[in-house]
């Protein structure tokens, strides 16, 4: 049946900010869906609060609402836009939940909006464990024995029926928040409680443990005619017990015979039919008992998911795009397979390579949390690699991770054999953790056998055997040393070894290995990802490298530019950089230049085969990038858009003769190198905080004394403020110094004057080397000292004197000219005591580029790309700064709920995973939208709890007064309450956690507090403050940990009390102001 | 052990044998299934062929006696990118290499199987030789050129059973030589459909599927005469799959022609080609065949798409079908080629693909019930 003509306008819900378990894969799927529906002639309305997405670009949808993804704002958008249909299956769990809530509110019915893709009934059947169990039993499938508990009494009863260990799984959450494994009643009490809290419907399922069983996933698509195809099978290397998002996974499934695979396939089809997924993609997860093959269904997601993004990249089959087309009435056999151009979407991809996905964790950011993996997801990104064999793909995947490793060990970073005690090693193998793959390597090097490791890890012996082959071959290579024969070198490359590993094993330098290898003619071949194992000719140039005879890369003689992407997402380097890379690709297309993308992140839009003219799905290492450059011989390579990953490669690439376009690596170095930077600032008469550089602790003490405490300390060359800290005295300095040196042993520690209580601003500018235009100036809401990635900010600035704005503009232009910036530049300024300081200059795309572009309507990354190709800003029509009339507020979204024990205070080390944007003509309303988008449910009445450290008390007074005037009841700890009373503000006293009960945490739990203002991390208040902040997270009470943050929230609440928030499409903001 | 694969058109691929020394010759083809190597190896339709698996790692789940599709390995050689000599699966009873060695079939690895696949796709399936003893490319290419083409060769006689057999307790049980083939041989009287299956290289799973659909199956040699079949008073006739070119299997075509209209008839793969030839249509060799488990076929009666297992190098010429050959019931969505025919008057239908799967998806299993329903009438 062809597409439906009875619907014209379709509303798509995006996933909102990037959080753990909901990453940029939903930008990838949402963007595909928007494009697909627009192509079909539908008018697409989009809601998504995440400005860093391609999907919220003004061109992607027809009407784009950067508004909170909540049922309330959805209702307003529906009222305004009157869409015919709502497509809820592309915005992750957030999209699904929001749609369900809106339906419950009666909005869809009221405005006659049809839900397409999945019905409410189907969603409920799949998401509600009780309904799901009944549905599975009906079709003869089993899910683990389990029971549902709505309170702790029921938990107790059910746990006795099931027996330990028990899996706790909250209903209606994403990424298994609040879930886990309990081995005894004590642990169960803790887990069940947090699970009930995390659940959308205050319900947990207690489940028979199938720990150690094998885990599989099938990605399934169904059309409304009932045709079903399986796109991809995925086998988890980590057994049941580790969240699939935290598992290393392999596609296709490796250890199933056809008989067993078909059982899973039949079950998936039956499940699709029984759940009633009308159209689109779903994901079914299976557990298989390795002893006898007994199968149980773990869960089913009636929507596109992280796994479907992975499956799309792994096979070349664009699940989200097809899902969108199926939702408007097409059947699978009416849609062409883009990759071949001749076959149809109604088939099942066959793949002739091996795909390995490895999650990227950032436990180092949260030292209070033990590095342990459970059924609640903790990774913040992932990398995918493609090889002809598992061994090759595994090694490529590990060197794609951006953790300083270059394969399955053998890279000089392996611990000495025997350096771990047997007990320690066994614990590390038996308890899943982010480094387990390397502990396996270590165990093998120490002589532990496959069987013993299997017993501890439950990892299928097949995978362990593959790893063992690598460990054994490594010994052979080391033995050959300098006399490495050709056939051994060939085999090593075919098994995925990097030159770095071979250099380490043989003792020959990396460049010597490279020379030797090339002399022998050992270079990679590029093979196509074609969905069909070469059965049909492929039209789409999507490549991976391998060491084989035949290279399929079709190298054109067009002018071409390679864009280096950012690799796996991690805290400090996220979707914002992918956004910039994608824009670079779009700009190249507009300029008629062939675009070639190199990246290893399967979640992104940049690795959509549709984005660039060519896609190389490869690790971003010097070796892998050079191979592509040698093959393609590009006009230029862009390194300034992908964040730190490509920047770190820039000078090595340049040394190898690669043409880097845009700002030169030398300019980047001038901005990074302390001495050269200082010299430049002196020359330009720009102030920077007093600073010094220390290579040992004695020098550090001396410098800090000279500058005066507090000082900011950090290792050089890091992104995301890793290991950066403000220290207030000598002992703190000493304590930190050790940590920092550990974080970056090759680089000294930098010590800066800390601009206490200063205003901080981020400025993004674009320059063609001659002229510079300010892209956007953002005033941070939090004071200096909070990492700019974690700080909320406002564009345009709302409280900065014009003279300071002028000075910052002057400084930016002078810096751009001096550094001969061709492209983008970001500067952080601090203003203290009426003086402007430059804190940092980065002549590259910054994290704020997408936000600024959305706020101003100026596509900075695209323009910068064109500048790199040689255009001037004047030619591009950008001659002056665009200062919008509306306010845009960016708020960071923190992952504290995922990491137990972490104190959720902000500091100079970045911890946020994502961001949201609030736009409004009124500043307060824009802040309110940003807060709502970030999940903070701001109250308009009730009780505000206040506890501030002495140094903040005066500053807090004014804002507390405002809360009081708005009619809030004030609750404070004894000291703060007395201070408030002295100043004429009545406040009730509540006990601190350390002083008695009922205390403030009890009040939080009893729902007696609606907003928390809690500052101060000094040691005497630490424990109390910590308990309050953790309680706030646990019970989802909005909180602020800085006075400035509180002021902003106050403004937001004032706005909310004044009138209800309105919604407006960015297309309208931009045209209204353009006129 | 070093080995060499030489194609008749002169291209050679150095590789390694993982089954020890040997030499094999045949037509080299590729199969894109990602699972089911044991079923593929034992499928009689691969007789005379050397099978390249596009799935790069093979051997992962070992071998298992329940997964055979005939009583031996039928393919002449197995060509893979990487052989994994470490099976991991609860059903596995041994390694693939040992299994191949025991049956004297050559297995090679460590060559660019994707390059080979692309070569076959572009140039067509062709004769080839693999050797561990003759590693001289020129000499081996000459041998490859000498490999007889599939066209005109009757491979059915090489794979059909020597004696009729029933399927009892999930294995073949031969009918004793002295037993007269008359209605008394049926064990189940009338409560099951009596089906005579002409064996052109039948896969065990076809017999299993017929049994599941309520049939009692007597498998008879391809040369069995129409009179003998009729004397058994069956309720239906089944025409099996099998290897190679249907053209030279004239004796079977004659038998089928004589049986058309006698009782409901159902054919699979070579069975469909023979049925079509008996009805007067033509068959042709296709460039590199369909071998895999992901071919989309549309059932024209219901509009539903089935993902199907396929394995054929010859096909019925759609243009030659004509009125007598019956109507097209199924079409291949990739190439719009003929996948199913039906002749209401003759109560005959057939499909080019493999509803019995093994390996492959089960989407088309309904066809066995359709056959049973036809016999109900």
Min Cα–Cα distance to chain A from B29, Å: 11
Kindly tell me if the per-residue pLDDT of A782 is higher than 90: no
Point out the least confidently predicted range of A700-704, A881-885, A907-911, B246-250.
A907-911
A179-238 residues touching B, CB cutoff 8 A: 225-227, 229-230, 233
Which residue does chain A place closest to B117, by CA atoms? A534
| Per-residue pLDDT, A743 | 47
Chain Cα centroid distance, residue A403: 16
pLDDT band at A209; cut points 50, 70, 90: confident
**Secondary structure tally for chain A: helices H, strands E:** 36, 38
Kindly tell me if the per-residue pLDDT of A341 is higher than 80: yes
Q: Is A182 helix (H, G, I), strand (E, B) or coil?
A: strand
pLDDT band at A173; cut points 50, 70, 90: low
- If you average pLDDT over every residue of chain A, what do you get? 92
| Radius of gyration of chain B, Cα coordinates, nearest whole angstrom | 20
Min Cα–Cα distance to chain A from B116, Å: 9
Kindly tell me if the per-residue pLDDT of A993 is higher than 90: no
| Per-residue pLDDT, A722 | 59
| Per-residue pLDDT, A476 | 97
B315-334 residues touching A, CB cutoff 8 A: 333-334
A505-544 residues touching B, CB cutoff 8 A: 527, 532-537
Kindly tell me if the per-residue pLDDT of A507 is higher than 90: yes
Most B CBs within 10 A among A223, A257, A344, A493, hence the mutation to make, goes to: A257
Residues of A in Cβ contact (< 8 Å) with B88: 255, 460-462, 465
Q: What average pLDDT does this structure show over A349-363?
A: 97
Asked if B89 lies within 8 A of A255 by C-beta distance, the reply is yes
Q: Which of B35, B82, B362 sits opposite A257 (nearest CB)?
A: B35
Q: What average pLDDT does this structure show over A472-500?
A: 96
Q: Which of A266, A292, A344 sits opposite B90 (nearest CB)?
A: A292
Alpha-helical segments (H) within chain B: 37-42, 96-102, 113-123, 137-145, 156-159, 204-212, 226-231, 250-259, 270-279, 366-376
Asked if A350 lies within 8 A of B32 by C-beta distance, the reply is yes
Residues of B in Cβ contact (< 8 Å) with A354: 56-57
Residues of A in Cβ contact (< 8 Å) with B66: 259
> A845: which 2 tokens?
């795309």
Q: What average pLDDT does this structure show over A808-828?
A: 97
Which residue does chain B place closest to A262, by CA atoms? B361
| Per-residue pLDDT, A1019 | 47
> B68: which 2 tokens?
């055979």
Which residue does chain B place closest to A355, by CA atoms? B56
Asked if A257 lies within 8 A of B84 by C-beta distance, the reply is no
Q: Is B356 a catalytic residue?
A: yes
Residues of A in Cβ contact (< 8 Å) with B84: 462, 465-466
B294 in contact with A at a CB cutoff of 8 Å? yes
A332-371 residues touching B, CB cutoff 8 A: 332-333, 342-344, 346-354
Min Cα–Cα distance to chain B from A472, Å: 15
> A685: which 2 tokens?
């008469």
Kindly tell me if the per-residue pLDDT of A742 is higher than 60: no
Asked if A254 lies within 8 A of B298 by C-beta distance, the reply is no
Count Cβ atoms within 10 A of the Cβ of residue A488 and give its class: 0-12 exposed, 13-18 middle, 19 or more buried. middle
Count Cβ atoms within 10 A of the Cβ of residue B370 and give its class: 0-12 exposed, 13-18 middle, 19 or more buried. middle
Min Cα–Cα distance to chain B from A291, Å: 6
Point out the least confidently predicted range of A629-633, A768-772, A900-904.
A900-904
Name the region of A959 (left: φ>0; alpha: ψ -120 to 50; beta: rest). Answer: alpha
Point out the least confidently predicted range of A183-197, A827-841, A849-863, A878-892.
A183-197
Tokens 């050269």: give the residue. A676
DSSP for A284-299, written as a single string: EEEEE-TTT--EEEEE
Three-state secondary structure along A913-980?
CEEEEEEECCHHHHHHHHHHHCCCCCCCCCEEEEECCHHHHHHHHHHHHHHHHCCCEEEECHHHHHHH
Asked if B56 lies within 8 A of A389 by C-beta distance, the reply is yes
> A1072: which 2 tokens?
């209204």
- For residues A832, A833, A836, A838, the Cα torsion angle rounded to the nearest 10 degrees is -40
pLDDT band at A901; cut points 50, 70, 90: confident
**Cβ atoms A386, A355 nearer than 8 A:** yes
Q: How far is CA A986 from CA A1007, A1022, A1039, A1042, in A?
A: 21, 26, 21, 22
How many angstroms separate the most distant Cα atoms in chain B?
Answer: 63
CATH class of B156-376: alpha beta
Question: How far is the C-alpha of A39 from the C-alpha of A1022, rounded, in Å?
Answer: 56
A877-916 residues touching B, CB cutoff 8 A: none
Asked if A535 lies within 8 A of B88 by C-beta distance, the reply is no
Kindly tell me if the per-residue pLDDT of A1045 is higher than 70: yes
pLDDT band at A717; cut points 50, 70, 90: low
Kindly tell me if the per-residue pLDDT of A1075 is higher than 50: no
B273-292 residues touching A, CB cutoff 8 A: 292
Q: How far is CA A1014 from CA A56, A944, A948, A1031, in A?
A: 34, 10, 6, 12
B118 in contact with A at a CB cutoff of 8 Å? yes
Asked if A534 lies within 8 A of B359 by C-beta distance, the reply is no
| Per-residue pLDDT, A732 | 86
DSSP for B41-81, written as a single string: HH-GGGTTEEEEESSSEE-TT-B-GGG-SSSS--SSEEE-S
> A1015: which 2 tokens?
């500052």
Q: Which of B84, B111, B114 sits opposite A534 (nearest CB)?
A: B114
Catalytic residue among B269, B290, B306, B330: B269
B143-202 residues touching A, CB cutoff 8 A: none
Domain boundaries, chain B: 2-145, 156-376
Min Cα–Cα distance to chain A from B368, Å: 17
The dihedral built from the CA positions of residue A188, A192, A194 and A198, taken in this order, carries a sign that is positive
Residues of A in Cβ contact (< 8 Å) with B79: none
Residues of A in Cβ contact (< 8 Å) with B57: 254, 354, 389-390
Q: What is the pLDDT of residues A592-608, one digit of tens each?
A: 999 999 999 999 999 99
- If you average pLDDT over every residue of chain B, what do you get? 96
Q: Which of B56, B66, B67 sits opposite A353 (nearest CB)?
A: B56
Nearest one of A717, A588, A716, A714 to A641, comparing CA atoms = A588
Asked if B67 lies within 8 A of A259 by C-beta distance, the reply is yes
Min Cα–Cα distance to chain A from B298, Å: 9
Q: Is B64 a catalytic residue?
A: no
Low-confidence residues of chain B: pLDDT under 50: none
Min Cα–Cα distance to chain B from A144, Å: 21
Q: What average pLDDT does this structure show over A539-562?
A: 96
Q: Is B269 a catalytic residue?
A: yes
Task: Provide the 10 A C-beta neighbour count for residue A455.
Answer: 13
Q: What angle do CA A710, A716, A721 make, to 5 degrees?
A: 65
> A276: which 2 tokens?
């009633």
Which residue does chain A place closest to B55, by CA atoms? A352
A252 in contact with B at a CB cutoff of 8 Å? yes
| CATH number of the structural domain B2-145 | 3.50.30.20
Question: How far is the C-alpha of A100 from the C-alpha of A932, rounded, in Å?
Answer: 18
B55 in contact with A at a CB cutoff of 8 Å? yes
Q: How many CB pairs under 8 A join A and B?
A: 163
Asked if B118 lies within 8 A of A534 by C-beta distance, the reply is yes
Q: What average pLDDT does this structure show over A198-222?
A: 89
**ipTM for this model:** 0.98
Min Cα–Cα distance to chain B from A141, Å: 18
| Per-residue pLDDT, B91 | 97
Q: What average pLDDT does this structure show over A256-272?
A: 97
Point out the least confidently predicted range of A166-180, A633-647, B275-289.
A166-180
Residues of A in Cβ contact (< 8 Å) with B90: 290-293
Question: How far is the C-alpha of A350 from the C-alpha of A442, rounded, in Å?
Answer: 35
């Amino acid at each position: 049946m062809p597409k439906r003509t009875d619907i014209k306008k379709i509303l798509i819900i995006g996933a909102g900010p990037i959080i753990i378990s909901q990453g940029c894969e939903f930008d990838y799927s949402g963007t595909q869906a928007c494009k697909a529906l627009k192509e079909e002639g539908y008018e697409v309305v989009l809601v998504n609060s995440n400005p860093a997405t391609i999907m919220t670009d003004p061109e992607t949808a027809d009407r784009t609402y950067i508004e909170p993804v909540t049922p309330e704002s959805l209702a307003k958008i529906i009222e305004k836009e009157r869409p015919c249909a709502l497509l809820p299956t592309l915005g992750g769990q957030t999209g699904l939940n929001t749609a369900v809530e809106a339906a419950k509110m009666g909005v869809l019915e009221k405005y006659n909006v049809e839900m397409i893709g999945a019905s409410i009934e189907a969603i409920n059947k799949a998401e509600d464990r009780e309904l799901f169990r009944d549905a599975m039993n009906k079709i003869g499938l089993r899910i683990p024995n389990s029971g549902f508990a709505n309170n702790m009494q029921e938990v107790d009863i059910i746990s006795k029926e099931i027996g330990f260990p028990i899996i706790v799984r909250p209903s209606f959450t994403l990424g298994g928040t609040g879930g886990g494994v309990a081995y005894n009643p004590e642990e169960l009490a803790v887990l069940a409680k947090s699970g009930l809290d995390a659940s959308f419907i205050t319900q947990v399922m207690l489940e028979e443990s199938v720990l150690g069983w094998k885990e599989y996933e099938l990605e399934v698509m169904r059309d409304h005619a009932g045709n079903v195809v399986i796109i991809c099978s995925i086998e988890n290397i980590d057994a049941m017990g580790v969240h699939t998002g935290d598992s290393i996974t392999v596609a296709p499934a490796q250890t199933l015979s056809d008989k067993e695979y078909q059982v899973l396939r039949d079950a998936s089809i039956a499940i699709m039919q029984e759940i009633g997924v009308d159209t689109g993609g779903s994901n079914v997860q299976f557990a298989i008992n390795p002893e006898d093959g007994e199968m149980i269904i773990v869960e089913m997601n009636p929507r596109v998911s992280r796994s479907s993004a992975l499956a799309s990249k792994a096979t070349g089959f664009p699940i989200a795009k097809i899902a969108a087309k199926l939702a408007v009435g097409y059947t699978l056999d009416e849609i062409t397979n883009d990759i071949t151009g001749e076959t149809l979407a109604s088939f099942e991809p066959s793949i002739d390579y091996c795909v390995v996905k490895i999650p990227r964790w950032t436990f180092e950011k949260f030292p209070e949390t033990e590095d342990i993996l459970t059924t609640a997801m903790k990774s913040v990104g992932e990398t995918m690699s493609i090889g002809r064999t598992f061994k090759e793909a595994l090694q490529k995947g590990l060197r794609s991770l951006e953790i300083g490793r270059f394969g399955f060990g053998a890279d000089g970073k392996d611990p000495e054999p025997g350096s771990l005690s047997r007990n320690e090693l066994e614990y590390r193998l038996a308890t899943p953790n982010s480094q387990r793959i390397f502990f396996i390597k270590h165990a093998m090097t120490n002589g532990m056998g496959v069987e013993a490791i299997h017993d501890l890890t439950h990892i299928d012996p097949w995978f362990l055997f593959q790893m063992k082959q690598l460990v054994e071959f490594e010994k052979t290579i080391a033995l050959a040393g300098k006399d490495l024969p050709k056939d051994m070198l060939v085999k090593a490359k075919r098994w995925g070894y990097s030159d770095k590993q071979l250099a380490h094993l043989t003792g020959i330098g990396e460049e010597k290995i490279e020379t030797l290898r090339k002399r022998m003619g050992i270079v990679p071949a590029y093979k196509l990802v074609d969905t069909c194992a070469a059965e049909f000719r492929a039209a789409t140039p999507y490549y991976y490298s391998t060491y084989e005879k035949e290279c399929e890369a079709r190298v054109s003689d067009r002018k071409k530019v390679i864009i280096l992407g950012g690799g796996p997402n991690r805290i400090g380097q996220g979707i914002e950089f992918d956004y910039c890379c994608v824009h670079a690709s779009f700009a190249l297309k507009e300029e008629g230049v062939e675009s070639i993308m190199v990246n290893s992140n399967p979640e992104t839009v940049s690795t959509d085969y549709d984005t660039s003219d060519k896609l190389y799905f490869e690790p971003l290492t010097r070796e892998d990038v050079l191979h592509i450059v040698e093959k393609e011989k590009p006009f230029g390579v862009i390194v300034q858009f992908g964040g730190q990953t490509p920047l770190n490669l820039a000078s090595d690439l340049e040394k190898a003769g690669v043409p880097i376009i845009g700002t030169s690596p030398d300019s980047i170095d001038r901005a990074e190198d302390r001495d050269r930077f200082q010299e430049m600032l002196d020359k330009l008469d720009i102030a920077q905080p007093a600073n010094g550089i220390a290579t040992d602790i004695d020098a550090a003490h001396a410098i800090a004394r000279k500058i005066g405490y507090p000082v900011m300390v950090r290792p050089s060359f890091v992104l995301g403020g890793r290991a950066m800290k403000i220290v207030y005295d000598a002992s703190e300095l000493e304590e930190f110094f050790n940590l920092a040196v550990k974080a970056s042993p090759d680089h000294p520690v930098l010590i800066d004057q800390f601009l206490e209580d200063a205003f901080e601003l981020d400025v993004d500018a674009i320059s063609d080397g001659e002229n510079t235009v300010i892209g956007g100036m953002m005033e941070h809401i939090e004071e200096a000292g909070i990492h700019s990635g974690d700080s909320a900010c406002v564009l345009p600035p709302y409280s900065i004197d014009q003279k300071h704005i002028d000075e910052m503009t002057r400084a930016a232009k002078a810096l751009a000219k001096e550094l001969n910036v061709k492209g983008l530049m970001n500067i952080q300024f601090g203003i203290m005591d009426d003086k402007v300081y430059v804190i940092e200059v980065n002549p590259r795309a910054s994290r704020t580029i997408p936000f600024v572009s959305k706020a101003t309507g100026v596509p900075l990354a695209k323009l910068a790309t064109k500048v790199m190709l040689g255009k001037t800003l004047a030619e591009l029509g950008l001659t002056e700064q665009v200062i919008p009339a509306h306010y845009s507020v960016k708020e960071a979204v923190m992952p504290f709920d995922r990491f137990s024990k972490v104190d959720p205070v902000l500091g100079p080390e970045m911890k946020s995973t994502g961001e949201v944007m609030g736009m409004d003509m009124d500043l307060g309303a824009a802040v309110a939208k940003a807060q709502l988008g970030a999940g903070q449910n701001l109250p308009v009445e009730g009780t505000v709890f206040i506890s501030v450290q002495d140094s903040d008390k005066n500053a807090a007074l004014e804002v507390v007064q405002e809360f009081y005037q708005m009619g809030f009841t004030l609750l404070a700890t004894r000291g703060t309450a007395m201070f408030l009373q002295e100043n004429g503000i009545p406040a009730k006293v509540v006990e601190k956690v350390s002083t008695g009960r009922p205390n403030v945490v009890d009040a939080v739990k009893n729902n007696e507090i609606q907003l928390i203002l809690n500052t101060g991390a000094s040691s005497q208040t630490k424990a109390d403050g910590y308990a309050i902040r953790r309680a706030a997270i646990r019970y989802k009470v909005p909180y602020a940990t800085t006075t400035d943050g509180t002021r902003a929230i106050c403004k937001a609440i004032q706005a909310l009390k004044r009138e209800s928030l309105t919604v407006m499409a960015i297309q309208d903001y931009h045209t209204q102001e353009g006129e | 052990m070093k080995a060499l694969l030489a194609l008749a058109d002169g291209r050679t691929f150095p590789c390694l044998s993982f089954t020890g020394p040997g030499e094999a010759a045949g037509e080299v083809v590729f199969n894109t299934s990602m699972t089911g190597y044991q079923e593929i190896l034992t499928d009689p339709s691969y007789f005379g062929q050397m099978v390249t698996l596009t799935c790069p790692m093979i051997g992962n789940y070992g071998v298992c006696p329940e997964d055979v599709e005939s009583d031996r390995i039928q393919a002449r050689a197995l060509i893979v990118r990487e052989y994994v000599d470490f099976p991991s699966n609860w059903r596995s009873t041994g390694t693939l290499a040992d299994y191949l060695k025991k049956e004297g079939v050559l297995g090679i690895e460590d060559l660019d199987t994707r390059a080979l696949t692309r070569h076959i796709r572009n140039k067509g399936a062709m004769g080839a030789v693999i050797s561990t003893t003759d590693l001289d490319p020129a000499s081996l290419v000459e041998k490859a050129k000498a490999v007889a083409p599939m066209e005109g060769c009757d491979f059915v006689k090489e794979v059909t059973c020597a004696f009729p057999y029933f399927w009892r307790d999930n294995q073949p049980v031969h009918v004793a030589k002295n037993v007269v083939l008359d209605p008394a041989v049926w064990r189940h009287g009338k409560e099951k459909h009596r089906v005579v299956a002409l064996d052109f290289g039948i896969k065990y799973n076809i017999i299993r599927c017929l049994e599941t659909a309520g049939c009692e199956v007597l498998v008879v040699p391809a040369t069995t005469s129409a009179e003998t079949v009729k004397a058994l008073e069956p309720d239906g006739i089944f025409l099996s799959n099998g290897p190679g070119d249907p053209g030279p299997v004239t004796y079977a075509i004659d038998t089928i022609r004589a049986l058309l209209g006698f009782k409901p008839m159902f054919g699979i793969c070579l069975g469909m080609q023979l049925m079509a030839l008996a009805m007067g249509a033509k068959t042709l060799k296709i460039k590199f065949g369909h071998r895999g488990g992901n071919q989309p076929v549309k059932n024209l009666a219901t509009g539903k798409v089935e993902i199907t297992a396929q394995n054929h190098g010859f096909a019925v010429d759609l243009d030659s079908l004509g009125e007598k050959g019956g109507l097209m019931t199924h079409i291949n969505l990739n190439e719009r080629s003929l996948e199913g025919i039906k002749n209401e008057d003759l109560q005959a239908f057939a499909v080019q693909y493999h509803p019995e799967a093994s390996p492959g998806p089960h989407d088309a299993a309904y066809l066995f019930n359709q056959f049973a329903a036809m016999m109900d009438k």
